[in-house]
Structure 1
Amino acid sequence: MNQTTATPTCPVAGRDDRKSAELAREHVSTFEGAKIVPGFAGAREVLRSTNVRQAGSNSSEITFDNPAHISFFFLDGDAHRKRRASVAAYFTPKAIVTRYHPIIDRTMAKLTAEFQATGSGVLDEMALELASNVTVEILGIDDRGNPLALAKLFHAIRRSSPRPNRSAFQRFFQDRLFGWHFHAPKIRLTAQLYDNHIAPAIVVRRSAPKDDVVSYMIKEGYSKAAMIMECMTYGSAGVSTTREFIGMAAWHMLDRPELKQRFLDADEEGQFAILQEILRLEPVSGMLYRRAQTDMPDAKGGPIKAGDLMAIDLRSANIDPETVGECPFALDPERSARMKIVGNYMTFGDGPHRCPGSQVALHEGRMFLDSLMRVPGIRLAKQPQMLWNRNTQGYEIREMVIECDKIS
């Protein structure tokens, strides 16, 4: 599934800067019956096609009785375009600079001060707190003064969710035979999310609406279930994936002092180039799915028939030498400029469902790392743990303990 050899023209043949490649080779899997779309060009064609529909996550188990109250992640066509347009204001360059930059600055001032005061910290939890603070602003929910606890609640709910590629037998066994027992942890955690974080925000926003997701949902008359679904979608995308991306980028820099220094010496554009190249090599989510609505006999990756389930392997697409050039496994920040293509390649997806919050995540990552990497004496205390998330088909970075020169 993944390409494993460098191109013959690569001057550093055998070099592989990826940290998550071996873990992915051991654990990556696709939905039963899915056809893997080969190559970057084939993947992009499928993701941009109007002849396919979203088929990832638990989309097959979603009821579409009222599309207006379903997260736009699961919608397609006009319904998706309209809903996506309604949230576009949260992700504009102006919103990023005026709304989220101040939050990032305040959070990083707090985190770096605590880090230097104690001389140690857990980087992945620091990243989690930052991502949670920004996501809370976008959503408008109540973090009860503990953004880290809220972020961990989002993660726990996602972890308790059924596998997205369950077989018919597994669904029968888990949903019918042991329904309540199997789903009880998620039900309990979801109730906690609504009662402690969403419901209090609804009370406040009814009398004082703001430009956030909760205010929008109140205005549109969302049901309780729809509100939970929307908040979970934003929470998973905005908190969990950003945390992993920041952790992975930090790991690369702390293991390679010359890369860290290059990042600190670069301007904003140069810093983004480094982060996007790391994301090309280490996409946080590894697999996307689409189902064909019509025959696509001339598809670049080979003929596709109506009804076919297609798996887009983002890792494989991001190392396609025909698109990324020579040395596809090497971390080369100048690659995108040389190849004249968006630096993160397929990491944030493509087409109408491309991640709407990608720029927010990049700004969070850039500002977090620019602040933290300037702390005198910053270093890894030990190599972090890297776990596999079967729902996202991607890595998780945990226990990234860092140290610095303590301020006495």
Structure 2
Amino acid sequence: MDPVGGRKIDRGPAGDGCPVRRGPDGTWRVTGYEQARTVLRSGGTVQAGLGIETVEKLPARFRRPVLYRDGPEHREHRRQTARFFTPRRVSEHYRDIMVRVAGEQLARLTRTGRADLPDLAFGLAIGVAAEVIGLTESRPGIQRRLDRFFPEKFGRPGFTSLTGIHWFFRQMRNWLAVYLADVRPAVRARRRDRRDDLISHLLDEGCTAGEILGECLTFAAAGMVTTREFVSVAAWHLFTDDDLRTRYRAAGEDERIALLHEILRTEPVIGGLKRRTTEPLRLDGDTIPAGELVELRIDAANLEPCEPPGLSFGDGAHKCPGAHIAILETDVFLSRLFALPGLRMATPPRVTRKAEIDSYELRNLVVTTSAPD
């Protein structure tokens, strides 16, 4: 399947034809699909990048979010929480939530006939992920708080400049706002009455409220922010490709989801992942020694023709657990959006890059419709 005419997001050169290469800075750069998948599935690597340097500075007694753990502890956590993310549970337990939240977001569009699509997509992603995580007692304004926590432009917190001090206190304020308005009410409710959600599971494991805040923000970044970008970029492809849009509208759910997977393969939200080797790793005749940093270029690896799906959700021990949720909620939303009468893209998106997480952001993608309320 290759329904996508080409990338809309400029990710730079795909590679030089060499799937494994050690750069002048000592970092190993992997652009081949099979080679990247081998690294992701290897038991001899650990997580690197994505702010892990900051997490490593936390006190030893503070339990790291699952994204930053490896080994037996990580595998056991994933085993115990896998039930929240199985395809069957996603379809049977979360589909109705997705339909409801998608309807609420599309109602914002149909009331006025005009809306910012990334804003609607963020409302969708927050509404769905909050139910899975257990952030259901939040005070009004969770979308605004998370927008502040994940700003379009990041500064570097620190104490050696006025800018660094500003960003330090800004982020501390944002942490506190999410904790007081979203996490603490959810934790208090579940201390009284456990529910079938992630926060209840974390409480059963003995996590403190601060540790639960860290997990919630990790899931917010992985399950809310990235989903917003994928919904937006998929909609952009559908708006600008008549054949793809016609096919998507006429297809059944299975085919629509396959089309979305293909768009995601072409436009991975996270363009690169990093791992550090803990033992020698053999790749294509090269041996990467222990202790080396390996950069996996997902945006390049995904362009290789191959039968398996791309690596946009990662692979191996750290493969995104919410993959089924993200794809299904995107289809629930877009299939309803593109059924609205008179739907059109009034303003194409402004695209920016986020070097901190090797991602893209789409903003100001304005859509209009003639659908009555």
Q: Report the TM-score, using the length of structure 2 for normalisation.
A: 0.89
Shift of 1:175: 5.0
Structure 2, unaligned runs of 5 or more:
14-22
Find the residue that maps to 2:347 and give its secondary structure: coil
Q: Provide the rounded CA distance (Å) in 2 between the counterparts of 1:162 and 1:265.
A: 41
**Offset, 1:162:** 6.9
Partner residue, 1:37: 30
Report deviation, 1:181. 4.0
Q: Which residue of 2 aligns with 1:129?
A: 123
Secondary structure (helix, strand or coil) at the match of 2:288 reads coil
1:104 aligned to 2:101? no
Residue 207 of structure 1: how far off its partner (Å)? 1.1
Indicate if the aligned counterparts of 1:71 and 1:229 stay in contact, CA closer than 8 A: yes
Aligned to 1:401: 366
SS at match of 1:381: strand
Spell out, residue by residue over 1:94-148, the C-alpha distance to the aligned partner (whole angstroms, 9 max, x if none): 32123211111112223333322321111111111111011110111246364xx
Deviations 1:270-300 (A, max 9, x none): 111110111111100111111111222x312
Name the amino acid aligned to 1:34: T
In structure 1, what is the Cα distance between the partners aligned to 2:263 and 2:84? 25
* 1:243 aligned partner: 228
Aligned match of 2:150 in 143, 147, 158? 158
2:7 to 18, 22, 31: 18
The answer as to 2:325 corresponding to 1:340 is no
CA-CA distance at 1:152 after TM superposition: 3.9
Query: Is the partner of 1:218 in helix, strand or coil?
Result: helix
What does the per-residue CA deviation read over 1:301-351, in whole Å, with 9 as the maximum and x for residues that have no partner? 73211111000011011112xxx1xxxxxxxxxxxxxx4322xx1111111
Greater CA drift, 366-375 or 90-99: 90-99
Taking the TM superposition and a 5 Å limit, the aligned residue runs for 1:60-99 are: 60-63=53-56, 69-99=63-93
The equivalences for 1:371-390 within 5 A come to 371-390=336-355
Structure 1 gaps of 5+ residues are: 1-14, 164-169, 325-338
* 1:50 pairs with 2:17: no
Deviation sequence 1:243-274 (CA, Å, 0-9, x none) = 00000000000111221110111112211111
Q: Please, which moves more after superposition, 151-160 or 77-86?
A: 151-160
The percentage of counterpart residues that share the same residue type is 30
SS at match of 2:295: strand
1:59 aligns with 2:81: no
Q: Given that residues 295 and 306 in structure 1 are in contact (C-alpha distance below 8 angstroms), is that contact kept between their aligned partners in structure 2? A: yes
CA 39–151 in structure 1, closer or farther in 2 if over 3 Å, else same: same
Aligned: 1:293 with 2:278 = yes
Letter of the 1:305 counterpart: P
Of 270, 292, 297, which aligns to 1:308? 292
- SS of 1:211's equivalent in the other structure is coil
Q: Distance in 2 between matches of 1:292 and 1:309?
A: 7
Deviation readout 1:222-241 (Å, 9 max, x if unpaired): 22331221010011111100
Q: What is the CA deviation profile of residues 183-238 of structure 1, one whole-angstrom value per residue up to 9, with x for unaligned ones?
A: 11100000000011111111111111101122122222222331221010011111
Structure 1 residues 220-369: aligned runs within 5 Å: 220-296=205-281, 298-300=282-284, 302-320=286-304, 324=305, 339-342=306-309, 345-369=310-334
Alignment of 1:192-231 (within 5 A): 192-231=177-216
Aligned residue for 1:69, secondary structure, equals coil
Q: CA RMSD in A?
A: 2.6
Kindly provide the amino acid, as one letter, of the partner of residue 38 in structure 2: E
Kept in 1, the 8 Å contact 2:223–2:326? The answer is yes
**Matches of 1:192 and 1:45, distance apart in 2:** 41
- Residue 81 (structure 1) shift: 0.4
Does structure 2 retain, via aligned residues, the 8 Å contact 1:45–1:300?
A: no
Greater strand fraction, Structure 1 or Structure 2: 2
Could you tell me which amino acid in structure 1 is paired with residue 223 of structure 2? G
1:128–1:47 distance in 2 versus 1, CA, 3 Å: same
In 2, Cα distance between equivalents of 1:25 and 1:340: 24
Provide the secondary structure at the position in 2 that maps to 1:303: strand
Give the number of aligned pairs.
360
Specify the alignment match of 2:18 in structure 1. Answer: none
* Partners of 1:49 and 1:231 in 2: CA distance: 27
How many Å apart are 1:33 and its aligned residue? 4.3
Contact 2:101 2:128 (C-alpha < 8 Å) held by counterparts: no
CA distance, structure 1, for counterparts of residue 285 and residue 54 of structure 2: 28
Give me the TM-score of the superposition, normalised by structure 1. 0.82
Higher deviation after alignment, 196-205 or 353-362: 196-205
Q: Give the Cα–Cα distance (whole angstroms) in 1 for the partners of residues 62 and 196 of structure 2.
A: 19
Q: Which amino acid aligns with 1:390?
A: A
Deviates more, 1:299-308 or 1:131-140: 299-308
1:194 touches 1:228 (CA, 8 Å); kept in 2? Answer: yes
Partner residue of 1:336? none
1:160 deviates by 8.9
> One-letter code of the match for 1:399?
N
- Paired AA for residue 401 in structure 1: V
Q: Distance in 2 between matches of 1:99 and 1:301?
A: 47
- Deviation, 1:366, is 0.8
Deviations 1:331-374 (A, max 9, x none): xxxxxxxx4322xx111111111111011000011111111100
